[in-house]
Structure 1
Amino acid sequence: MRAAVLTEFGAPLTVRERADPRARGGEAVVEVLAAAVPPYADEVFGGRRNYPLEPPVVPGIGGVGRVVHVGPDATRVRAGDLVWCDCTVRARDDALTPDITLQGWSSRGDGGARLARHLPDGAFAELMRVPTENVYPLPPRAASDLARWSSLGVYVIPYGGLRAGGLEAGETLLVSGATGNLGSAAVAVALAMGAGRVVAPGRDRGVLGLLADRFGPRVRPVELTGDEDADRAAMSAAAEGPIDMVIDLLPPAAPSSVARAAAMTVREFGRVVLMGGVGMLGGADLSLPYPWLMRNSVTVRGRWMYPRPANTGMIRLIASGALDLGPDRIRTFPLDAVNEAVAYAAAHGGPYERTVLTPAAG
């Protein structure tokens, strides 16, 4: 098979021949037809994000494809099935706190690193070996627009956070980082889940207008000024009532004050879910006030990625039409143009812009 290989950080990806992977017990081999290229992929491959990848490695963060063959213990997945391959791989020897690796992308702790060495390679290849439990059947109609369905990997991340916070139909949600790639996805997913109103703060007036135009009056844009107290007041006013839940999806470069201002708009007994990158590049801590948390009975929860059932839930939301991917702007690249795809993704990382690699399309 052919694959795009990261030989060292800071070097371009190299497309080369590699041995075809084989499925053993508990595994499947999938022909990769479409794989999303994240906007920050150039930061990962350049070493600026300091991800614990171990070159040489085939990168890639999940994808859509067809099953080629499965291990002897598979009971339902069959060769020829159209599937979504989830990159979030969990170790099988601790059900309570499993070690985790994002296949072809990142890992957590020493155990996650060992797991990554067993399943190092991601979706930027014609074939990909994945755990059987990470393969999810897609509806037949997904075959007509595989590139669009590959953006499932973007939407399922905030979906996991919204599920963790227990978002209910009719509630008011504030999305901190709403003008970013993941934050704008959270706006769309929350409305698909039945949120009554979504407060969408950000600095980019053009993107705020885009959100309002796409989703109508259920979205309440708020242009941030950088003044923490004034921004908090503006976000609260935009809700025109209690804010039941806040989800933070701000990137690593964002100051903690922006996340704090958003979090502290939540009502008494409200929930705050933290999924972003605030603090990963250093800087001040979030510093939520102890008395405010305690006296208002606020729940604060961290959520890295999503549980396995979120994949099935996300597929159902898209298949039902509740989440419409039609307006997303899709640009595809063949495997040989992988470096052009990475550069394009970096320059086009705005809301609902998707860059997709098609490794086995030709």
Structure 2
Amino acid sequence: MRAAVLSEFGAPLTVQEVPEPRAGGGEVVVEVLATGILPYAEEVFSGRRNYPLEPPVVPGPGGVGRVVGVGPDATRLRAGDLVWCDCTVRSRDDALTPDIMLQGWSSRGEGGARLARHLPDGSFAELMRVPTENVYPLPAGAADSPARWSSLGVYVIPYGGLLAGGLEAGETLLVSGATGNLGSAAVAVALAMGAGRVVTPGRNRAVLDLLADRFGSRVSPVELTGDEDADRVAMSAAAEGPIDMVIDLLPPSAPSSATRAAAMTVREYGRVVLMGGVGMLGGADLALPYPWIMRNSVTVRGQWLGPRTVNVGMIRLIASGALDLDVEKVRTFPLDAVNDAIGYAAAHGGPFERTVLIPAAG
């Protein structure tokens, strides 16, 4: 089969013939129909993000595919099934604190690295081997647009954070980083979940207007100035009432002061969920006042991705029409143009812009 291989950091990916994967116990092989290329993929492949990938490797974080073969312990999946493949792989020998790796993308700690060595290759390939529990059937209608459905890989991230924070219908949410690729997805998912109002701070006026135009009066945009105190006041005022929950999805380039300004708008007994990259590439760490957290009974929670159930929930939200994928701008590339696709994704990482690789020859 053909696959795009990262031979070393800083080098272009090369499309090569590699051995076809085979499904063992607890595994499924899928034909990859569509896989998203994240806007920061070039930063990963160049080595600037210092991700613990071990070249040579076939990268790619999950995607939409058709089942080709299943292991002997699969009871419901069948060859030909249209499925979503989640890249978040967990070890099976510790139910409480399993080691985690993102197949074809990243890992956490030595345990995660061991998982990645066993199951190294991701979705930038015609075929991919994945754990059975990472494969989720899609509705028949998804066959009309696998490329659009591959954006599940973006939406499940903020969805996991919103569930972790206990977002309830009618509540007011503030999305820190709302004008970014993940942040705008969080806005869409929160409204699909029934949020009463979503405050969307950011510096890009055009994107703020786009969010307001797309989602209407339930979105309250706030143009940030960089003055922490003034921005906090403006965000609080935009809510026109208590802010029940804040989710932070700011990238590594953002200052921790922006996260703090947003977090400290939350009401007494409110919740703050941290899912972004602040501090990952250096800079000041996040400092929140101890007395403020304690006296206001604020819950501050970190959340890296989400449990397996987020995949089922996200598929249901899309299938029901609560979250509309038709409004997205999708650009597809064949496997041979993988490096062009990576460059395009870096230049088109705005809200609801998706760059999708189509590995299967058809």
TM-score range, shorter chain: over 0.9
Q: Which runs of 4+ in 1 moved over 6 A?
A: none
**Matched residue SS, 1:184:** helix
Task: Please give the residue correspondences for 1:81-100 in structure 2 after superposition, counting only pairs within 5 Å.
Answer: 81-100=81-100
Task: Please give the residue correspondences for 1:21-60 in structure 2 after superposition, counting only pairs within 5 Å.
Answer: 21-60=21-60
**Matched residue SS, 1:312:** helix
Alpha-carbon shift at residue 91 of structure 1 (Å): 0.2
- 2-structure distance, mates of 1:294, 1:154: 34
**Percent identical:** 85
- 2-structure distance, mates of 1:326, 1:217: 21
**Matched residue SS, 2:145:** helix
Q: Give, as a single letter, the amino acid of the residue that structure 2 aligns with 1:177.
A: G
- 1-structure distance, mates of 2:8, 2:284: 32
- 2-structure distance, mates of 1:196, 1:336: 45
Cα shift readout 1:113-148 (whole Å, capped 9, x = no counterpart): 000000000000000000000000000000001100
Unaligned runs of 5+ in 2: none
- The residue that corresponds to 1:10 in the other structure is 10
**Matched residue SS, 1:272:** strand
Unaligned runs of 5+ in 1: none
TM-score by length of 1: 1.00
**Matched residue SS, 2:273:** strand
- 1-structure distance, mates of 2:287, 2:355: 36
Q: Give, as a single letter, the amino acid of the residue that structure 2 aligns with 1:183.
A: G
- The residue that corresponds to 2:105 in the other structure is 105
Cα shift readout 1:249-299 (whole Å, capped 9, x = no counterpart): 000000000000000000000000000000001111110000000000000
Q: Give, as a single letter, the amino acid of the residue that structure 1 aligns with 2:176.
A: S
Q: Give, as a single letter, the amino acid of the residue that structure 1 aligns with 2:78.
A: R
Aligned residue pairs total 362
- 2-structure distance, mates of 1:282, 1:126: 37
- 1-structure distance, mates of 2:328, 2:361: 21
**Matched residue SS, 1:84:** strand
- 2-structure distance, mates of 1:3, 1:211: 37
- 1-structure distance, mates of 2:346, 2:357: 14
Q: Give, as a single letter, the amino acid of the residue that structure 1 aligns with 2:164.
A: A
- Verify: 1:139 aligned to 2:139, yes or no: yes
- The residue that corresponds to 1:345 in the other structure is 345
Task: Please give the residue correspondences for 1:205-284 in structure 2 after superposition, counting only pairs within 5 Å.
Answer: 205-284=205-284
Q: Give, as a single letter, the amino acid of the residue that structure 1 aligns with 2:295.
A: R
- 2-structure distance, mates of 1:361, 1:314: 28
TM-score by length of 2: 1.00
Q: Give, as a single letter, the amino acid of the residue that structure 2 aligns with 1:277.
A: G
- 1-structure distance, mates of 2:134, 2:361: 22
- The residue that corresponds to 1:171 in the other structure is 171
- The residue that corresponds to 1:153 in the other structure is 153
- The residue that corresponds to 1:129 in the other structure is 129
Alpha-carbon shift at residue 361 of structure 1 (Å): 4.2
- 2-structure distance, mates of 1:222, 1:61: 32
Alpha-carbon shift at residue 94 of structure 1 (Å): 0.3
- The residue that corresponds to 1:183 in the other structure is 183
Cα shift readout 1:179-232 (whole Å, capped 9, x = no counterpart): 000000000000000000000000000000000010001000000000000000
Cα shift readout 1:314-333 (whole Å, capped 9, x = no counterpart): 00000000001111000000
